[in-house]
Amino acid sequence: MSPSELPFEQASIRVDELVHLLDDYSHQYYVLDKPTIPDEEYDRLYKELVELEEAYPQLIQNHSPTQRIGGALLEGFEKVSHDTPMLSLDNAFSREDLAEFDRRVSQLVDGEYSYHCELKIDGLAVSLKYEKGRLVYAVTRGDGTVGENVTANVKTIRSIPLKLKKPLTLEARGEIYMPKTSFLKLNEQREERGEAVFANPRNAAAGTIRNLDPQVTASRNLNIFLYALANVADRPASTQDEALKLLDDIGLRTNSERQVYDSIEEVWSFVEDYQQKRTELPYEIDGIVIKVNELSKQEQAGYTVKAPKWAIAYKFPAEEARTVIRSIEWSVGRTGVVTPTAIMDPVQLAGTTVRRASLHNIDLMIEKDIRLGDTALVRKAGDIIPEVVRVDKEMRSGESEAYVFPENCPACGSELTHLEEEVALRCMNPKCSAQAKERLSHFVSRNAMNIDGLGERVVSQLYENQLIRDVADLYYLTKDPLLKLEKIGDKSADNMLSAINKSRKNSLERLLFGLGIRHVGAKAARLLAEEFESMETLKQASVEEIIEIDGIGDTIAESIRSFFDLEEVEELLDKLNQAQVNMLYTGKKKEEQAAADTYFTDKTVVITGKLSHFKRTELKNKLNDMGAKVTGSVSKNTDYLIAGEDAGSKLAKARELGITVIDEAKVLEEIE
């Protein structure tokens, strides 16, 4: 019997069960970072709930997981007054500032007190209001007194429960942020589409929360850390530490990187520790928040008009450096977008030597008035990508002239276009050599067809020597022409041909991703391959059929349909087919994935150090296939740390937390 055929009474009971189950599984996955069921099982239960709600709309609950993403565009954001003002914090910039803060606190409170240290997340402050355990609204900080109602967008953040584990009425305040990996991916996508990029993860998070389309918000993988409990009856906690533990207990997500100390000297050690470790974190922080831990002492210390007297934010020094821009290099991506990079005098930044910095697009260059010979302030956006913040115009010589932008493609010489709706220059020539090389390099990359030995240098040589013009030509290569290439010997040629031949057997999702269909990333390619199982079936699918896949939206579906409608794509696929390149999905079916059980099933795994048996991406993919969730940082929720040679701070932290450490030999044993 299908879910929609259940009698009303049974359907009502089952809906309650599914909502409760899915809430628990979401909490384990998004909050605890410790999934207890495979994604496929979650998807199956979610689909069952959708079918029941479609059959009986009157059973739809406000806190149902299906209600997270509204279909309608928002018209704007209404203003909402905070019941208790969301005050800002005073800042400290030195050890002396912290000592002075400690002196002031000692004069304001009686008896002994301690300090609660928390990471200062660089995001967007928000207040979540729950009534009898149900989320009723989410409001931005605004001016501290009045904020904007962003409830529809906040509901799309999976780590925020729509219903608490206890029916409490309260406000929880926290910081919405964008993880560094999501920030990088978003900017790469925007740059590829010729759109303006976000300057840093904070701006990206703020822009996403204030987007009028909740589906856009849902696609950008925002997250949250709650840091305060407000407006709750019958004070359930006597310290800040207890308040955060209560938030944990009722299903809200807090940051585990926190400590309580008795002295300001210990607080300073915490500050110094995280100033060193900030680049290793998967999210951006810009300091440490120090609060008097005891809530009664907080009341005793009181407030100024703008800030509490019992808390202070230590701000890390900006990771910035000054250098001179010597030249600007223009590169062409596989979609034709031409992007500028500043070539600079070498400078130390966040522990690395930096010689190149992204300028993103010509609109930003015009806005910042960047010229050759300028002295520039450079930083790492989100502690990741070097970028030029601004130039020092006072140090500019009187002979300096505005930079003249290229009019022709640096690769093929075609006239460049600056489309009205884009911030980037674009080469419109479909036969541009740079675009062709980029498409080829993408095709052979690890996450695509994974053809060893075909790096950018070799791909460029193959193209320049007219041995390949498209990705299918790779499968028609023979040994003799390869031996004529620079630094390609007999063994290298054999290895290259062997790797190409091996890639013929890759599962469909790798080929789909490798073809470089616009908007189709590795995850979307896998969803498509699992659903349609063959290239031929996918080719025939309509936009409506593609959209039915959970996780595939209109933009991806229309892009796929447009791609397969091109005559040259039909010719390319026919050429690949004749070369006996596999066009079928050979991975595990959904039901097989759900049934599989390995040493790594439902385990959270971190990889560190130099590996000798695997490439890091290869090992990550194998672990994912075995049911693991691979993350970038060690926490109390990590199950295993796989440690290679020269493992550093992650290994030390794993030992400190008592996490099981395994080597590659153990991994090989489990794989075999």
Whether the per-residue pLDDT at 649 is higher than 80: the answer is: no
Neighbours of 301 (CB within 10 A): 19
What is the per-residue pLDDT for 73? 52
Cα 216 to its chain centre, rounded Å, is 14
Q: Which CATH class is domain 433-578?
A: mainly alpha
Q: Mean pLDDT over residues 31-37, rounded?
A: 69
Q: Mean pLDDT over residues 630-648, rounded?
A: 82
d(CA 556, CA 161): 28
| Contact between residue 496 and residue 603 where contact means Cβ atoms under 8 Å apart | no
* Phi, psi at 454, each rounded to 5°: -110, 70
- Confidence category of residue 597, pLDDT binned at 50, 70, 90: low
Torsion of CA 210, 216, 217, 222, to 10 degrees: -130
Q: Within 13 Å of residue 512, how many CA atoms lie on the same side as its CB?
A: 31
The tens digit of pLDDT for each residue in 420-435 reads 777 888 888 877 888 8
- Confidence category of residue 611, pLDDT binned at 50, 70, 90: confident
Q: Mean pLDDT over residues 372-388, rounded?
A: 80
Residues with active-site annotation: 120
DSSP-assigned states of every residue in 2-24: -GGGS-HHHHHHHHHHHHHHHHH
Our CA angle for 7, 11, 14, nearest 5°, is: 145
Q: Mean pLDDT over residues 16-24, rounded?
A: 86
Q: Give the contacts of 540 (CB within 8 A, at least 6 positions apart).
A: none
- The strand ranges marked E within 333-428 are 337-349, 352-358, 375-381, 385-391, 416-417, 425-427
Torsion of CA 519, 522, 525, 527, to 10 degrees: -110
Maximum average pLDDT range among 146-150, 290-294, 320-324, 411-415 = 290-294
The CATH H-level superfamily of 320-426 is Nucleic acid-binding proteins (2.40.50.140)
Whether the per-residue pLDDT at 598 is higher than 90: the answer is: no
| Buried/exposed code over 123-158 (b: 16+ C-beta within 10 A; e: otherwise) | bbbbbbbbeebbbebbbbbbeeeebbbbbbbbbbbb
Element (H, E) at 139: strand 134-140
Q: Mean pLDDT over residues 407-431, rounded?
A: 84
The tens digit of pLDDT for each residue in 151-184 reads 989 999 989 999 999 999 999 999 999 998 888 8
d(CA 125, CA 605): 30
Query: 3-67: which CATH topology?
Result: Helix Hairpins (1.10.287)
More confident residue, 613 or 260: 260
Whether the per-residue pLDDT at 594 is higher than 50: the answer is: no
Q: Does domain 91-315 have CATH number 3.30.470.30?
A: yes
Q: Mean pLDDT over residues 324-337, rounded?
A: 90
What is the per-residue pLDDT for 185? 86
d(CA 185, CA 522): 12
- Confidence category of residue 351, pLDDT binned at 50, 70, 90: low
Rg over alpha carbons for the chain, rounded to the nearest Å, is 27
| Least confident range of 87-101, 117-131, 258-272, 384-398 | 384-398
The tens digit of pLDDT for each residue in 41-87 reads 777 888 888 888 888 888 888 778 887 765 455 567 888 888 888 88
What is the per-residue pLDDT for 595? 47
**The one-letter amino acid at 573:** L
More confident residue, 327 or 278: 327
Whether the per-residue pLDDT at 487 is higher than 70: the answer is: yes
Element (H, E) at 146: strand 146-148
% of the chain beyond a pLDDT of 90: 40
Q: Mean pLDDT over residues 489-493, rounded?
A: 90
The tens digit of pLDDT for each residue in 285-295 reads 989 999 999 99
User: Which CATH number is 597-671 given?
Assistant: 3.40.50.10190
In whole angstroms, how far apart are CA 550 and each of 7, 119, 150, 528, 546? Answer: 27, 35, 25, 10, 9
Q: Give the contacts of 230 (CB within 8 A, at least 6 positions apart).
A: 83, 84, 127, 170, 171, 172, 173
| Average confidence score pLDDT of the chain | 86
Check: pTM over 0.75? Answer yes or no.
Answer: no
**SS (HEC) of 152-169:** HHHCCCCCCCCECCCCCC
d(CA 437, CA 637): 42
What is the per-residue pLDDT for 383? 53
Q: Where are the domains of the chain?
A: 3-67, 91-315, 320-426, 433-578, 597-671
